[in-house]
């Protein structure tokens, strides 16, 4: 089932909600381009320890040495001009604990996006990042009293170095890829979270990332450590106004789940269609620990993101649940990386993508089960739905299994919305658009249910809006 009538102009609707920006006076601006001076500037503004500056400078060298991965990734990466991006912008203020203290432009920004309204409803803590630094950060007293630390990266490294330095850059080394090196050189903002042993944080912690400035790069760095037997759910949302120029978002997110711990990390990414979203995310799961990535990519021009889990302890579990929607001018290149490094580890990947108009969605996966292990299991399913005749989808998994004590299975399928289904619904009085949208929602429904209530409602609405005008 497909139709090709003007799918273009009616589709941007949902992004309009976040498509606005304010002229903000930035006190600190590292200027265009990237050099050691940029790093000195950032280090100076932040008043960082020398070891961090050294870490950054080493990372900058790695970034320059590494080639663009265009031998396998999209050539579109070459459209990023690293000299025409500003790497650090902030108002020089510490994050506000009280919403009333947040500067007006930022407050209005977040209020238009519904933050911290969401916090009042059900969150245990919120951090809101505006360009390079957090504008607002607050943890509910009850959660802080349990010993949970929820701060931005600068504060984490300065005041809790004993906890965070041990794992900082260990799950994702600087040289993992070109963009993790870039992040390591100029990182700013992001969340540092520590949950003490046995503490089960009942409500999710949330971070909200907002890019306001033009020709800007946001490089947040997140490190979450959940100690033995503890549990945490973390959610992040991202938006930016639409500019004509390129905006870059390149985050590094490291998760550490100690023995028996559980981490659930939820992302709803709705960057505007000029953002290059090149993110490295990986979790380390110790004995019997569980790391789950629940990932939804709707926005951006090009997203390259393959959340991974290294199952280091016996009985560890890793999971990636991924929904991607690629519309005109978008390429969602997403996937999962499952590294089995201990016996009896299990991983599960379920990915569903929808390509609308001229959108392109790609699944790229890696499953690695090395020698001398036993009882490892992987299940991978990826399904793609193509809506129009110009839509495109690709699947590139790589599975390595050594030994006869494991089992892996990978399945992928590509399909269309069936004509019979649409016909049936139309015959029952639904318009073609409604029928298509219902059908698409049905396709992702079992995954949408994995998101918390508020998000799944929002997701369904986003999908409905994205589908509007794609048929008819």
Partner 1 sequence: MSLKEIPPARSFLDPPEEAREELPDWYKSSRSDAWMSFQDIDWPKRSDEAWRFANLKKLSYENLYDAKESESNDAEQLVASSLSLKENAGQILFVNDRVIASPLLNEEFSKKGVIFQPLSQALIEHGELVQDHFMTEASRLGSAKYAALHRARLRNGFFFYVPEGVSLTVPVEVFHWVSGNSASIFPHSLIVAGPGSSATVAEYVTSIDDEISFCCAVCDIHGEEDSQLTYLRTQNLSEKAQSIYQLSSRAASKAKLKTFNLDLGCEWVRNESVSRLVGEGATSEMLAVSVPEKSQEFDMRTLQLHEQRNTSSNLLYKNALYDDSKTTFAGMIVVEDEAHQTDAYQTCRNLLMSDTSEANSMPGLEIKADQVRCSHGATCTPVSKDELFYLQSRGVKEPAARQLLTFGFVKEAVDRIGNNSLEEVILGKLGRRFNRIRAR
What single DSSP character describes residue 68? P
Strand partners, 269: 238, 297
1 in Cβ contact with 419 (< 8 Å): yes
Q: Which is nearer to partner 1, 256 or 385 (CB)?
A: 385
Among 246, 393, 437, 470, binds partner 1 (CB under 8 A): 393
Q: Is 5 in the site for partner 1 (CB under 8 A)?
A: no
183 in Cβ contact with 251 (< 8 Å): yes
Q: What is the largest CA-CA distance in the chain?
A: 70
- Which residues in 351-380 contact partner 1 (CB under 8 A)? 371-372
Q: Is 412 in the site for partner 1 (CB under 8 A)?
A: yes
Segment interacting with partner 1 (CB under 8 A) among 168-176, 226-234, 408-416, 430-438: 408-416
Helix (H, G, I), strand (E, B) or coil at 22: coil
Q: How far is the CB of 367 from partner 1 (least distance, A)?
A: 9
Q: How far is the CB of 409 from partner 1 (least distance, A)?
A: 5
Q: Is 394 in the site for partner 1 (CB under 8 A)?
A: yes
What is the length of the chain?
Answer: 472
Among 77, 158, 414, 425, binds partner 1 (CB under 8 A): 414
Q: Which is nearer to partner 1, 176 or 231 (CB)?
A: 176
398 in Cβ contact with 336 (< 8 Å): no
Q: How far is the CB of 347 from partner 1 (least distance, A)?
A: 13
Look at strands 262-269 and 302-305 and give their pairing: unpaired
Segment interacting with partner 1 (CB under 8 A) among 40-48, 49-57, 58-66, 381-389: 381-389
Among 166, 173, 245, 403, binds partner 1 (CB under 8 A): 403
Among 5, 6, 245, 407, binds partner 1 (CB under 8 A): 407
Count residues binding partner 1 (CB under 8 A): 37
Q: CA-CA distance, 49 to 55, in Å (whole number)?
A: 10
Segment interacting with partner 1 (CB under 8 A) among 7-15, 136-144, 210-218, 391-399: 391-399
Task: List all residues 6 or more positions away from 354 whose beta carbon is below 8 Å from its beta carbon.
Answer: 324, 325, 326, 361, 384, 385, 387, 440, 443, 444, 463
187 in Cβ contact with 168 (< 8 Å): no
Token match 């459209």: residue?
79
Q: How far is the CB of 352 from partner 1 (least distance, A)?
A: 14
DSSP conformation letters of 277-339 = EEEEEEEEE-TT-EEEEEEEE---SEEEE--EEEE-STT-EEEEEEEEEE-TT-EEEEEEEEE
Q: Is 404 in the site for partner 1 (CB under 8 A)?
A: yes
Q: Is 408 in the site for partner 1 (CB under 8 A)?
A: yes
Segment interacting with partner 1 (CB under 8 A) among 204-212, 243-251, 324-332, 402-410: 402-410
Token match 């945490």: residue?
232
Among 413, 426, 446, 449, binds partner 1 (CB under 8 A): 413
Q: How far is the CB of 387 from partner 1 (least distance, A)?
A: 8
Q: Is 406 in the site for partner 1 (CB under 8 A)?
A: yes
Q: Which residues bind partner 1 (CB under 8 A)?
A: 2, 71-72, 371-372, 384, 386-416
């Amino acid at each position: 089932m497909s139709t090709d009538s003007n799918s273009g102009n009616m589709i941007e609707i949902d992004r309009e909600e976040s498509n606005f920006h304010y002229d903000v006076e930035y006190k600190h601006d590292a200027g265009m381009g990237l050099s050691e001076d940029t790093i000195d500037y950032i280090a100076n503004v932040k008043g960082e320890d020398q070891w961090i500056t050294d870490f950054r400078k080493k990372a900058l060298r790695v970034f320059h040495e590494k080639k663009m991965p265009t031998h396998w990734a999209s050539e579109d990466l070459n459209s990023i001009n690293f000299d025409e991006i500003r790497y650090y912008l902030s108002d020089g203020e510490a994050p506000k604990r009280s919403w009333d203290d947040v500067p007006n432009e930022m407050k209005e920004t977040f209020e238009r996006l519904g933050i911290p309204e969401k916090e009042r409803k059900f969150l245990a803590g919120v951090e809101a990042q505006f360009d390079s630094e957090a504008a607002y950060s607050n943890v509910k007293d009850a959660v802080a009293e349990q010993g949970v630390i929820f701060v931005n990266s600068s504060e984490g490294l300065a005041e809790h170095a004993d906890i965070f330095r041990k794992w900082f850059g260990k799950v994702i080394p600087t040289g993992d890829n070109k963009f993790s090196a870039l992040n390591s050189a100029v990182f700013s903002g992001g969340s540092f979270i520590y949950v003490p042993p046995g503490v089960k944080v009942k409500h999710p912690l949330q971070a909200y990332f907002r890019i306001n400035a033009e020709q800007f790069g946001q490089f947040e760095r997140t490190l979450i450590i959940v100690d033995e037997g503890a549990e945490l759910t973390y959610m992040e949302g991202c938006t930016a106004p639409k500019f004509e120029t390129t905006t870059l978002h390149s985050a590094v997110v490291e998760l550490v789940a100690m023995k028996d711990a559980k981490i659930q990390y939820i992302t709803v990414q709705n960057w505007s269609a000029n953002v290059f979203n090149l993110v490295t995310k990986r979790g380390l799961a110790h004995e019997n620990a569980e790391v789950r990535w629940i990932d939804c990519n709707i926005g951006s021009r090009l997203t390259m993101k393959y959340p991974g889990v290294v199952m280091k302890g016996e009985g560890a579990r890793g999971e990636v649940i991924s929904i991607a929607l690629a519309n005109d001018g978008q390429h969602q290149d997403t996937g999962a990386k499952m590294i089995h490094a201990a016996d009896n580890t299990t991983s599960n990947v379920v990915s569903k993508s929808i390509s609308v108009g001229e959108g392109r969605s790609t699944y790229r996966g890696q499953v690695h089960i090395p020698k001398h292990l036993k009882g490892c299991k992987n299940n991978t399913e990826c399904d793609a739905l193509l809506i129009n005749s110009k839509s495109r989808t690709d699947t590139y998994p790589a599975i390595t299994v050594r030994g006869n004590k494991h089992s892996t299975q990978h399945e992928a399928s590509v399909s269309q919305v069936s004509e019979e289904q649409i016909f049936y619904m139309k015959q029952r009085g639904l318009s073609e658009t409604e029928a298509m949208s219902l059908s698409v929602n049905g396709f992702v429904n079992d995954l949408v249910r994995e998101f918390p209530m508020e998000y799944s409602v929002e997701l369904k609405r986003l999908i409905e809006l994205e589908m509007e005008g794609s048929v008819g």
